[in-house]
Chain A
Amino acid sequence: MSVEVEVNESDLAEMVEQVWESYLDPEGISPLIPTYDENQPSEVHSSVSITGSWSGHIVYSSSRAAAQRAAAAFLAMEMEEVSEEDISDTLGELANIVGGNVKAMLPPGAQLSLPQVVLAPEASARYPNTERISGVYGLWEGEPVSISMWQSNTETKEEGA
């Protein structure tokens, strides 16, 4: 039986906004502009899995250009200086931060996996038996960025807390 999740879309939106405020847009001049477009294209993505009292994934996906911009902002570098490793590390940490904050709103006993980063479109990822239950979709400097929450549909026993 899947657990009723107490994390709604505006909670997720707030967490994403705080990530922008803290790391990606500290001056408040370059926010994520909401589009509500669930089918935005993606070129790269990262995710963390949550297990225990709740089961699912938090996924960041965006264009390469947005990912490059995120790494540049996160690491205080110029876009041209950013390496593949920088992009990979940044996307992993972004998924980790949002995932960690989502976890804090779940029933006690949830655990976060290490982040996975794939510099390939989200559609290539395999999340069997999951359903997207929430998402933040927007444009950042004209580039698509999506952060979504996927819940497992499996009827398996909950792993012990």
Chain B
Amino acid sequence: MTLSQGEFTFIANMVRREASIVLAPGKEYLVEARLIPVARAVGSPNVNEFIAELQKRPNPQHQRKIIDALTTNETSFFRDREPFSALTDVVLPELIKSRASQRKLRFWSAASSSGQEAYSLAITLQEALPAGWTFEINGTDISTAMVERAQKAEYSQVEVNRGLAATQLVQYFERAGAHWRIIPTLRRNVTFKHMSLTAPFPPMQPYDVIFLRNVLIYFDVATKRQVLQNAAKILRPDGWLFLGAAETTIGIDDNYERVAAGRTSAYRTRNAVPAGTGRRG
């Protein structure tokens, strides 16, 4: 093992800071294995010198390469599946009725990471919406490395083996060398931007559905509350908020109430939920 504890910590801190990803303990050998090609690619004699250089003088390009090498497989398509089924079974049929005159839907995938959630939403909408409807999906993430990766829309064979039906793979992806890339017609509906959830939100047009999954867990209660409040302001009055499987607004933000959505729960802002829709859960 050529990586010292100090070097590993330096790298782990960088990855956490720049990509919000925590390197699991026990992965020191894997980190070393992944960094060796990066060091070689930039002409450094070995990993130790590569890291020493970075510690002396930050190099965004080298940092980006490190982050790309160390943060694959962070999330998957149709993760947890149930929220996506809830969209198809409960949410979209309702929105198709209530938005019948606009025939357009806007979704936000907050903390979109490498983009699989946003593209899973795109596939769901593409399959569920009737002809003549359009949709727009905005993905945001605090990591510019992740935003760029999501924009590239390229995934490895191992990544596309998970979560996708084979029919979806052949319909919505095209091969790009060793990778698979989302087809242009679907990519057109999905855009990604850098954004920090803990800062004041930039101006955003209201959304019909927000996916804010597995990111609030990293924040303290006060910050969670702030984020949820800000999200409520850009959620359409009859819109839907989806959190991660183990997350809830209960005890944090009273403005939302939990409703059943298929086999999972979702959240809607309290005062605006018309009587009779979305059973209280």
Of the candidate stretches B22-30, B81-89, B113-121, B144-152, the one touching chain A is B22-30
CB distance from A126 to the nearest CB of B (A): 29
With an 8 A cutoff between CB atoms, is B100 at the interface? no
- On chain A, the number of residues with a Cβ less than 8 Å from chain B's Cβ atoms is 23
Is there an interface contact between A33 and B36, defined as CB atoms closer than 8 Å? yes
CB<8 Å pairs between A and B, sample of 9: A14-B178, A18-B156, A21-B158, A29-B26, A29-B29, A31-B34, A32-B33, A33-B33, A34-B40
Using Cβ atoms and an 8 Å threshold, which residues of chain A touch B36? 33-34
Is A6 part of the contact surface with B, judged by Cβ < 8 Å?
Answer: yes
Q: How far is the CA of A31 from the CA of B43 in the complex (A)?
A: 23
Q: Which 6 pairs between the two chains have the least Cβ-Cβ distance? A: A31-B33, A11-B178, A34-B36, A28-B30, A31-B30, A18-B158
Q: How far is the CA of A28 from the CA of B158 in the complex (A)?
A: 14
Please give, as numbers and ranges, the residues of chain B lying within 8 Å of A101 by CB-CB distance: 157, 178
The chain A residue sitting closest to B24, CB to CB, is A28
Q: Is A22 interfacial (CB-CB < 8 Å)?
A: yes
CA A128 – CA B175 in complex, angstroms?
33
Q: Are A13 and B37 in contact (CB under 8 A)?
A: yes
Q: Taking beta carbons and an 8 Å cutoff, which residues of B are in contact with A?
A: 24, 26-27, 29-30, 32-34, 36-37, 40, 73, 156-158, 175, 177-178
Taking CB atoms, residues of chain A closer than 8 Å to B27 are 28-29
- Interface membership of A36, Cβ < 8 A: yes
Partner of A6, one of B34, B40, B156, B177: B177
Contact across chains for A33 and B158 when beta carbons are under 8 A apart: no
**With the chains together, A18 CA to B156 CA distance in Å?**
9
In the bound complex, how far is the Cα of B175 from the Cα of A7, in angstroms?
13
Considering the complex, which residues of chain A in the window 83-116 have a beta carbon less than 8 Å from any beta carbon of chain B? 101, 104-105
Which chain A residues numbered 5 to 31 have a C-beta less than 8 Å away from chain B? 6-7, 10-11, 13-15, 18, 21-22, 27-31
Least CB distance, A35 to chain B, in whole angstroms: 9
Within the complex, the shortest CB–CB distance from B49 to chain A, in Å, comes to: 16
Given contacts A29-B26, A101-B178, is CB(A14)–CB(B33) below 8 Å?
no
In the assembled complex, which residues on chain B have CB atoms less than 8 Å from the CB atom of A29?
A: 26-27, 29-30
Give the CA-CA distance A31 to B178 in the complex, in Å. 20
B178:A15 contact, CB within 8 angstroms: yes
Task: Kindly supply a per-residue 1/0 record for chain A positions 124-138, scoring 1 wherever the CB is within 8 Å of any chain B CB and 0 otherwise.
Answer: 000000000000001
Of A14, A27, A34, A104, which is within 8 A of B156 by CB? A14
CB-based nearest B residue for A21: B158
Interface pair A105/B30, CB less than 8 Å apart: no
Contact call A18/B157, Cβ cutoff below 8 A: yes
Is B177 a contact partner of A33 (Cβ separation < 8 A)? Answer: no
Q: Once the chains are docked, how many angstroms separate the CA of A33 from the CA of B30?
A: 8
- Give the docked Cα–Cα distance between A32 and B178 (Å): 20
